Amino acid sequence: MQLPRNVIAGPGALESVGPICRSMRLRGRALIVTGAHTKQIAAEAVADSLSANGYESDFFVAESPTMENVLKARAAAEDMKADFLLGVGGGKAIDIAKLASTKLDLYFISVPTAASHDGIASSRASVVEEGKSMSMQAEAPLCVIADTDIILKSPYRLLAAGCGDVISNYTAVLDWRLASRLQNVYISEYAAALSEMTARIILDAAPLIKPGLEASVRHVIKALVSSSVAMSIAGSSAPASGSEHKFAHMLDEIAPKPALHGEQCGVGTILMMYLHGGDWKRIREALTTIGAPTTAKELGIEDKYIVEALMKAHKIRPERYTILGDKDLPYEAALKIAKTTKVID
Ligand SMILES: [Zn+2]
């Protein structure tokens, strides 16, 4: 199992980046992977903290999580003879740094500026190659340093999406259990229990998750880290990614303007919970309370793409067996699922 060694979440945590690197006995130079906006709001402060603690650092600025940028980041790290990498951003910069450091066999530190999905702490990264989004195995971060002041200033929509990604653990675990019964897939009970508990904590805390509240950010960060720990224990993303993630990834492929990953996963959880015969209304209520989308309209996606994504979602990662089975859902069935759960009207 690969787990982060340190997880720091709190106001002003950026200032502790340098001291934490020292406490972990890191030496030498650091490459900071970031975006243009996140450089201003966070990465420059990270560089200051590193320099105050005797580290040289340089920036690699990239906006999109493409394989080309991963290779450029690797080249930049090699040019400066970097000894470790940091990803400072909402997710894209973290994914680039995660994959580049894996290729270089160097440590990597995750410094999220938003809490919109569990990739901030996990060993998986998404990259775009030839226009298609791919999930890849990488090294887990050596540590996660989440400055809740910075994350609080990011749009609330991102935090609500992070809750959707956590709540999706419910149906992911149901799918995992189904695959274990039906296909004899290995299931880790520790990972399944941790993943379910994490989703339950966020579901129960839904009324406490609001804009402008530092405690909400802390809550969601802990849940996202717990989800990635569950994946690390399992040695796969199964405890946090099932049929609802297939649905979300299919929307990414077919919808002209997809919504945020966690938003699509949240809506996917409503739909898949209905298919599992579970309490989909409770999922819907919690997402509404949090302020996350529960309908096609709120996602900003036309009804027809929701129905099509439901029909074809099983095609994503076909090796992962879920409630969606291995055949297209009939159009009439998909339409009925989406209407019954009020995702479309
Ligand atoms: Zn996810």
Chain segment 300-339, per-residue pLDDT in tens? 999 999 999 999 999 999 999 999 999 999 999 999 999 9
133 C-alpha to ligand 1 centroid (Å) = 13
Give pLDDT, residue 263.
Answer: 98
Which residues in the chain show pLDDT less than 70?
none
- Please give the distance, rounded to the nearest whole angstrom, from the Cα atom of residue 340 to the centre of ligand 1: 24
122 phi-psi bin (left φ>0, alpha ψ -120 to 50, beta other): beta
CB 106 within 8 A of CB 77: yes
Q: How many beta carbons lie within 10 A of that of residue 267, not counting itself? A: 32
Pairwise CA distance, residues 189 & 205, whole Å? 24
| C-alpha 165 – ligand 1 centre gap (Å) | 5
Please check whether residue 141 is in contact with residue 109, taking contact to mean a CB–CB distance below 8 angstroms: yes
Distance 28 CA to ligand 1 centre (A): 34
| Backbone φ and ψ of 296, nearest 5° | -60, -40
Q: How far apart are CA 241 and CA 238, in angstroms?
A: 5
Tell how far the Cα of 49 is from the centroid of ligand 1, in angstroms: 31
Q: How far apart are the first and last CA of the chain?
A: 45
Ligand 1 centroid – CA 117 distance (Å):
6
- Expressed in angstroms and rounded, the spacing between residue 58 Cα and the centre of ligand 1 is 30
Going from the Cα of 129 to the center of ligand 1, the distance in angstroms, rounded, reads 19
Q: For residues 284 and 282, give the distance between their C-alpha atoms in angstroms, rounded to a whole number.
A: 5
Query: How many angstroms does the Cα of residue 227 sit away from the middle of ligand 1?
Result: 9
Q: Which pLDDT score, from 0 to 100, does residue 133 have?
A: 74
Q: How far is the CA of 161 from the centre of ligand 1 (A)?
A: 10
Rounded to the nearest angstrom, the distance between the alpha carbon of 167 and the centre of ligand 1 is 10
127 C-alpha to ligand 1 centroid (Å):
14
CA 119 to centroid of ligand 1, rounded, Å: 7
CA of 224 to the centre of ligand 1 (A): 10
Q: If we measure between CA atoms, which residue out of 265, 266, 312 comes closest to residue 289? A: 266
What value, to the nearest 5°, has the Cα angle with vertex 216 and ends 210 and 222? Answer: 145
Ligand 1 centre distance from Cα of residue 273 (Å): 16
Taking the C-alpha atoms of residue 214 and residue 38, their distance in angstroms, rounded to an integer, is: 20
